[in-house]
Chain A
Amino acid sequence: AQSVTQLGSHVSVSEGALVLLRCNYSSSVPPYLFWYVQYPNQGLQLLLKYTSAATLVKGINGFEAEFKKSETSFHLTKPSAHMSDAAEYFCAVSDENDKIIFGKGTRLHILP
């Protein structure tokens, strides 16, 4: 069964600093990979998805993620953090039955 591991349940960065949220997946076949963001009391919003095209995927709000097969990673980055980026971020992978499996999430805190 596929699974997703997000390293760090909480990450704090200063405003203007680089954001790096880590995600590793387990998959025996090329997967579809996703990053979702969840603001307080809201549902999940798709940031970006990897579907076996370009390995560097650009998403909304200045986020991007790079698929690295050799490392089974799909880390999320943003060059310069903004206060509005404070939220919970979920990495997810789709399995062979088209089911999406979510990680446990990483809460991103932005320090002024």
Chain B
Amino acid sequence: EAGVVQSPRYKIIEKKQPVAFWCNPISGHNTLYWYRQNLGQGPELLIRYENEEAVDDSQLPKDRFSAERLKGVDSTLKIQPAELGDSAVYLCASSPSYNEQFFGPGTRLTVL
């Protein structure tokens, strides 16, 4: 069974540029999460989806971050415009139940 797929794996952009990350969850997993992991820290939840619905986006900086999960499968996370402090690893996870999450390899974003 394929795991959670994320692309790109690495992205380098200049500040004020837009960037988008893509995630394909494990087939059949209705719950999808986006996390941000800063260097030397644990992951912090940005947004959680149950199918197409964002059920927890309280930690998503809505002035520059947006996310969507059309058709309740794939998801994209966008930052526009990116700031220096957005440099981090962005992790996607999916879950068949709320207390067991499967993580993708992440996208390492560097903002110059």
Contacts and interface: CB of A to CB of B under 8 A. Distances in A.
B42 A43 contact: no
A49 B97 CA distance: 13
A99 B103 contact: no
Contact of A105 (B40, B104, B105): B40
B4 interface: yes
A100 B43 CA distance: 9
B103 A45 contact: yes
18 contacts: A41-B106, A43-B103, A43-B104, A44-B43, A44-B101, A46-B100, A49-B100, A94-B98, A94-B99, A98-B98, A98-B99, A100-B99, A102-B42, A104-B40, A104-B41, A104-B42, A105-B40, A105-B42
B42 A49 contact: no
B32 interface: no
Contacts, number: 52
Nearest to A41: B105
B67 interface: no
B91 interface: yes
Contacts of B106: 41-43
Interface in A5-47: 9, 32, 34, 36, 41-46
Interface of B: 4, 40-45, 48, 56, 91, 93, 98-106, 108
Interface in A41-62: 41-46, 49, 51
Bin the interface of chain A by size. Answer: 20 to 34
A98 B50 CA distance: 12
Given A43-B105, A45-B103, A97-B56, A105 B91 contact: no
Nearest to A94: B99
Given A46-B100, A94-B99, A105 B45 contact: no
A51 B97 CA distance: 13
